Amino acid sequence: MIADLIIYNIKTIYTPYEKPPVHGSKMNSIHEIHQAFIAIKDGLIIDFGAGDYKKHIDTHTILHNANQQIVLPGLIDSHTHLVHGGSREDEYKLLQQGVPYLDILKNGGGILGTVQKTRDASIDELYQKAYHSLNEMMLHGVTTVESKSGYGLSLEYETKQLLVNQMLDKNHPIQILSTYMGAHAVPKEFLNDKRKYIENMKRDLLRIQELSLADAVDVFCETGVFTIEETKDILSHAKNLGFHIKMHADEIHSLGGAGLGVELGCTSVDHLMAISDEDIKKLASSNTIANLLPGTSFYLNKSYARARQMIDSDVAVSVSGDYNPGSCPTENFQFIMQLASNKLKMTPEEVLNAVTINPAYHLGLDSQIGSIEIGKKANIVIMNAPNLSYILYHFGINHTHDVIIDGKIVVENRQIVREI
């Protein structure tokens, strides 16, 4: 078959190959293909390997020289709070002084502070801010992003965030998956009637579904936010409506959120810094992904999730960025991967599985993305590095040289060259 685009002169392709979800010790399994090429047609991979690529060439084929650099599947950031108004540097001093994150929220700051800024921002302001962030993510090799609402906390404003997600998915090369997260906090106007707010959310989900604004529903299950019982109520309702479900679980206190996630069939349970040993065992016997967010631990100076124990216990793990204005204000996904290596003690192979095929699985996209395979989307990152380990060893810089999304070169020589 004749290709539209061929990437050749690749030093090494590194790609997962185990069928997802990739659990435990299997996360150390990847393919390494040396002196390789990738042939692409109509946005899909039609061939790859160490053989002869010339059979795929005609006069219209574009040849892209990788110049003996390495290639990975496009990186997937499966937990972000991309669309929001303003920033929260005014709270940074409080965090440095040791004021607990939940106390800042209790006093009207934190999430609630961003809620007001997001409500006040126009759709265009939210769109432009998020578009700039997506560019930064793409320059660091990210090709797919999950984006949560949760800074509106009413149907009107949650819908506004989700509409911005739709606009971004249409107009930016990065694929955006939307998650409704009205249960991110209780808004000020319902602080004395949380039950009414929950019932409003459950009703709002019908409208969200009607408008096809979200694929999934998330709940912040935490002390002072939503209890185990409330989380079960909201997510059971969402699941009955046909949404995928996930949750922020056991981030600060061990409430049994991860175990509830397994019971309900959540696609992922996220954070897990305070997860119990019992719930690690439950995760190991399930297909629910433990989605770990080391950037949040770094920024808040909190303990890191016990990734090593989880993987050694046969849990399937993914790693995400948690880009948001209050607990992880960075779009540098490679730094998140470096934290996974250095602080979560994950091997380079485990990190690769955790930012490609396992997030693809819990986002429901593993048949399309997450590995370099014939028939999958040509989402590819060319890294200016001698090997996979080097990306994690040489930290704090951007190793990305080129990015291909859906078979189109969108970043070349570290510069964005294609925007829809």
Q: Report residue 246 as tokens.
A: 């996930």
Give the pLDDT band (50/70/90) at residue 239.
Answer: very high
Q: Is the pLDDT confidence value at 92 over 90?
A: no
Q: Does domain 75-362 have CATH number 3.40.50.10490?
A: no
Is the pTM of the predicted complex or chain greater than 0.85?
A: yes
* Strand segments (E) across 111-253: 142-148, 175-183, 216-220, 244-249
Q: Is the pLDDT confidence value at 310 over 90?
A: yes
Report the pLDDT averaged over residues 361-381. 98
Cα gap 171→175, rounded to integer Å: 10
Provide the percentage of residues in the chain whose pLDDT is more than 70.
Answer: 99
Cα gap 29→23, rounded to integer Å: 10
Per-domain residue ranges of the chain: 5-74+371-416, 75-362
For the stretch 121-140, pLDDT in tens is 999 999 999 999 999 999 99
- 21-24: long-range contacts (C-beta < 8 A, 24 or more apart)? 21/287, 21/289, 21/316, 21/358, 21/361, 21/362, 22/316, 22/353, 22/357, 22/358, 22/361, 23/284, 23/314, 23/315, 23/316, 24/284, 24/311, 24/312, 24/313, 24/314, 24/315, 24/316
- Can you give the length of the chain in residues? 420
Report the pLDDT averaged over residues 260-278. 98
pLDDT for res 420:
45
CA–CA distances in Å: residue 73 to residues 147, 206, 209, 373, 405: 20, 36, 31, 9, 10
Q: Is the pLDDT confidence value at 21 over 60?
A: yes
Asked whether 379 and 357 are in contact (CB, 8 A), the reply is: no
For the stretch 108-123, pLDDT in tens is 778 999 999 999 999 9
For the stretch 388-411, pLDDT in tens is 999 999 999 999 999 999 999 999
Cα gap 244→210, rounded to integer Å: 15
Asked whether 226 and 183 are in contact (CB, 8 A), the reply is: yes
Q: What is the DSSP string of 36-80?
A: EEEEEETTEEEEEESS--GGG--TTPEEEE-TT-EEEEPEEEEEE
Report the pLDDT averaged over residues 50-71. 96
Asked whether 72 and 352 are in contact (CB, 8 A), the reply is: yes
Cα gap 354→291, rounded to integer Å: 8
pLDDT for res 418:
63
**What's the mean per-residue pLDDT of the chain?**
96
Angle CA 103–104–106, to nearest 5: 60
Report the pLDDT averaged over residues 218-240. 97
Q: Is the pLDDT confidence value at 90 over 90?
A: no
What is the CATH class of 5-74+371-416? mainly beta
Nearest to 316 by CA among 290, 350, 292: 290
Asked whether 252 and 231 are in contact (CB, 8 A), the reply is: no
Give the pLDDT band (50/70/90) at residue 367.
Answer: very high
Nearest to 275 by CA among 298, 294, 296, 259: 259
- Percent composition of the chain: helix, strand, coil (DSSP 3-state, to 5): 35, 25, 40
